[in-house]
Structure 1
């Protein structure tokens, strides 16, 4: 499969897609937080130039994903005890922000992988951690098969598995399967006979596991978030992770999933503001009544760009604050530290959503009519912001923060909080 392969055309018959080959050599292992940020900058510089064309032509980012995962950035939250760098979650979020500012689809693809890594740390026994963390450190990529199209609520599942001794057989159908298309393993949320949710981590090429190339959203096109069909997929019990244990007591697992969503939105906002400034400086015309030769000297434009910059920096500050709160909750998971991490992350999610959408709208207002020309493809930034900010409704983040402040009610324990 080529890194320049195209996604299937919307409206065409959906088709099953084979999984990618694994890179020939093991992934790099990051040493510390400083190296993680430096490597993220280098990866971003490599993938940014092709982001617009990948969006325009709906191209699979296989080469870019190989670069990203082989860089070591997909194992940065593997614990030190198992050979990983175990960076701060403030650093992890910054890494996703940097990559998402280069291509927000590629930044989002890592989200569920990193969340499952965190879950394995929380719920798996030592033998399972050693096995799975070893795979991750070598460069294995996890996709996801979590959400279900026909369920009434996001946290409800119909996919189940049956116990077959040394393995289980998983049956169901999933949607929004971000990254599954180009993953090496697909973690599947499936229920046991008691209704408890597990991560059944299936090999991407396992018989009965069908990934369909049918993602048709107008934004985040490169996330490959289509359908997964599961027909008695065999998963060895060594790869059956008791995910439910991450939510039957206070843990930081939900906040970890959420802060990565925050970072994607902050990355989109950062990219959008950069594009706005570049366009105003190089292509926009000054308004007739401004008395200025350059659009960049228009006082109203200056004011608006300043407003966006301040709001972006506020979102980045809350993201960093949330990351450190998550670090404390991971180190000492109590009801108080976990609630603090959830609240801090919810606050960051509110601001990251607002700045991503505001920046995407203001781009066209400030840059002018020329910015709408198809040749610039700047609408991808609005499409990506509008699509990704629908992930976990921000109205419920206000509710979590307000209910805690007013009534002392801790946020619920699940992957969306």
Structure 2
């Protein structure tokens, strides 16, 4: 463990107090996380030291409500923080994604005692992983994992996959169906008997998220560790838009990283095309045109991302179904552009930078691999449908974590 990570893991977590401090901290942490990010991807070296630096900085606690000691930063600030970190290393940018969604679920439907308990854990630097999705089911909401009443508590059985962050977590919230077939979250300490987290993630992108398998075998869960997650969608809450805007911010960071590497390579290393009549690749008029196109698309994506965050920030304390629909559509619009900007920037890098850029020593293919992998989380084609159906037919999007 390096000295910075050693210091981060042994001291109390820092508590960030306001939006400005959150942004400043994100820039400082990103400088650390960017070091060897390409090597970590190439070697699939899990970022155990780096995640300690990240969470101990206080950035994982910036959405804790002020009544419980947190900064309760705006969603404009939250998306900027995630974007800054994702430019440095999008795998690390993705790791708090579900943690932050769970903090929001606690805010929406947790009991006072649960909020006191788990928000204190977050402020102390504890990390939530996730055990939400499963393989081999009809869709993401078709769950086989069950939480059954058993004596003075419950027993939890099942298998999860795409468990981003679980391998690095202190708490692993598991989404399961209770005896009434309602979706609940069971919070398990990472060392709970019967819980095992398997590092079998083999995706070609987001390689160091360790988004592998969770196995649950007769895990005991006390009643106070069960959150009524279904209540976050039985009534209008912002949990869906919040979950989705974090996804969009990660993709915006990937796009920015790919564009930055494109600009640096073209300026310093690429050769001008023989018929261009110029000495420098950066003076090639066709290259200049393509860079302009990338910049426009990226700026448009970032503008819609900020606008969507502003829509969430403007929601009333008790939003209506119409309020949440409007926020979901705003976030979906941003998600469309951040997806396309990330994929396009990752692909265009090689066309504009030239053959030298494909050498493995640069590992530039990680940008496209990360974009292609992360943007599969929820298909952008359904964002087009969601937006079009709302604009044309006035149909409000279904309320769940993917809208």
In the superposition, the TM-score normalised over structure 2's length comes to 0.97
Alignment of 1:199-348 (within 5 A): 199-329=185-315, 331-348=317-334
The partner residue of 1:122 within 88, 108, 117 is 108
C-alpha deviation, 1:26, in angstroms: 2.3
Deviations 1:159-188 (Å, cap 9, x if unpaired)?
001123543211000000001011111010
Distance 2:106 2:257 in 1: 32
Check whether the contact 2:9–2:53 (CA below 8 A) recurs between aligned residues. no
Check whether the contact 1:325–1:337 (CA below 8 A) recurs between aligned residues. no
Deviations 1:197-251 (Å, cap 9, x if unpaired)?
1111100111110111100000000111000000011222222111000011111
C-alpha deviation, 1:25, in angstroms: 2.9
C-alpha deviation, 1:334, in angstroms: 1.1
TM-aligned CA distance change 1:166 to 1:96, over 3 Å: farther
Alignment of 1:16-415 (within 5 A): 23-329=9-315, 331-415=317-401
SS class of match (2:184): strand
Deviations 1:7-65 (Å, cap 9, x if unpaired)?
xxxxxxxxxxxxxxx93332111111111110000111111021000001110101110
Gaps of 5+ in 2: 3-7
SS class of match (1:133): helix
- Who is 2:5 aligned against? none
Distance 1:74 1:191 in 2: 28
Deviations 1:257-282 (Å, cap 9, x if unpaired)?
10000000000000000000011111
- Name which of structure 1's ranges 319-328 and 106-115 shifts more when overlaid on structure 2: 319-328
Distance 2:317 2:261 in 1: 39
Check whether the contact 1:252–1:330 (CA below 8 A) recurs between aligned residues. no
Distance 2:246 2:65 in 1: 18
- Equivalent pairs counted in the alignment come to 399
Kindly report the root-mean-square deviation, in angstroms, between the aligned alpha carbons of the 2 structures.
Answer: 1.3
Distance 1:394 1:387 in 2: 13
SS class of match (1:168): strand
Distance 2:116 2:392 in 1: 43
C-alpha deviation, 1:330, in angstroms: 6.0
SS class of match (1:170): strand
Distance 2:224 2:25 in 1: 32
